[in-house]
Amino acid sequence: MNRNLSQTSVANHLAEQIGDERKLCVALSGGLDSTVLLAALTALRAGPHPDLSLRAIHIHHGLSELAHDWVAHVVAFCRQLQVPLEVVYVNVDAKGKGVEAAARTARYQAFADHLAVGEILLTAQHLNDQCETFLLALKRGSGPAGLSAMAALSGNKGYPLLRPFLSLSRQQLEQFATDAGLKWIEDDSNQDVRFDRNFLRLCILPALYERWPHFPQAVSRSATLCAEQETLLDELLSESLQVLTDDSNGSLDIPAIAAMSVPRRQALLRRWLADQGACMPSRDQLQRIWDEVALSREDAEPQLQLNLLSVRRFRQRLYLLPPMASLKQTVLLWDTASPLTLPDGLGQLQASEVFVQNAESIRLPRDDEQVSVRFQTQGMIEKAGRQHSRQSKKLWQELNIPPWQRERTPLIYYNEQLMAAPGLFITRQALAKTNAPQWQVTWYQPVADNSFKNKDI
């Protein structure tokens, strides 16, 4: 493509990239790239595509003293173009991940929270950005997935994301901006070579571009080839992964993948983690998942953290779990006339009186007994229907309850006496006399589709 692109040429390029999409939201930082993107889309709306629904969103990270000035700039620019603008203020928590990564996480979460239904997000990364992303992945020792760099169209953030400028260079965008008389923000932090991307952009890539002018295009081709290889592997391994993964809880069959070659096992583990919503692990992390979690001794309860998620093993299966609040010390007093909302999104308990004795009902509390709900029990449990009591750990194992769920299962107590775990067991102390009024407790648990399942006692 000719370096001196006219405004019409860029508009035509964008028209080809957006296809039939008509509800567009531009991530507008106010820098050169996003300024050109919004201006070119506005020209497209004013010309051959008046049906475009176009707006912009600006993320205020609060990391620069000039951030408020940038807001003023993008407000004025959008007013000039007659494009609605939403400014979103975010907090950047850099603990454990660095400022760049934390800002990126906060930014993409803000997009997810503020995109309208049916809207597609457009960002303005260009050919040179793609080259930088590839080299940063190379520096990290990434495989084909990381070296695929940025996709022109993706949905792995939870919403559709289009990058229409990946085949255009920064020089081409600068030419467009100069011809159109555009003004943009120069972020002062872009000159700070302590950041890896800035170091590449300012200190390394200029020499490479001078020696090999088509270096960005060559890198882009390599990234495309890596992406094609990943797509092929996805297709070849998808059926195996589906067979090895439990649809109900997302767990992975350890013995089955243990019998595979190391490369196939590693590829399946990566795809399993990606399907469960984890960030791509390093090679070392992947090996640790296998050595320290999957292959740990049988009586161990191993786990390995992947950012906020944790990989755990139970009954020869791997699980990827979200953060869970500790409920060990939680005690909830319960007036059983009303439903009880459980903490940490565990749902509700509801009690109803029954007059026909059944195997899952418990006696009513006496006047001197207070009903409470707890999430921890120790020692021996006298399960109804058995002659002998069992250690609580042994009973949980018998009931096939993973360790992390044992402290998230509501337990009904009368004073200090355990009575029942909804849907799992009742104790001998909970048995009622024949034909005496009894309680039946239902545990309504939220599931993935926001409906509810229940467990009764």
Which residues belong to the annotated binding site for ATP?
29-34
- The structure tokens listed for 22 are 């008509």
- The structure tokens listed for 274 are 């990606």
State the residue for tokens 């309504």: 444
CA distance 29 to 123: 10
CA distance 160 to 215: 29
CA distance 33 to 125: 7
CA distance 292 to 443: 35
Pick from 73, 113, 109: which is nearest to 91 by CA? 109
CA distance 374 to 438: 21
CB 110 within 8 A of CB 90: yes
Q: Which residues contact 199 (CB under 8 A, 6 or more apart)?
A: 193
At residue 314, the 3 state secondary structure works out as strand
Element (H, E) at 210: helix 205-211
CA distance 338 to 72: 52
CA distance 276 to 290: 17
Binding residues are 29-34
Q: Which amino acid is located at 11 in the chain? A: A
Pick from 28, 131, 6: which is nearest to 84 by CA? 28
Long-range contacts of the stretch 178-184 (C-beta < 8 A, 24+): 179/6, 179/7, 180/7, 180/36, 180/39, 182/35, 182/36, 182/39, 183/35, 183/77, 184/30, 184/31, 184/32, 184/35
State the residue for tokens 């200090």: 416
CA distance 435 to 352: 16
CB 399 within 8 A of CB 391: no
Task: Tally Cβ neighbours within 10 Å of residue 203.
Answer: 10
67 φ, ψ to 5°?
-60, -40
CA distance 215 to 209: 6
Q: Which residues contact 352 (CB under 8 A, 6 or more apart)?
A: 439, 440, 442
Pick from 58, 14, 25, 31: which is nearest to 177 by CA? 31
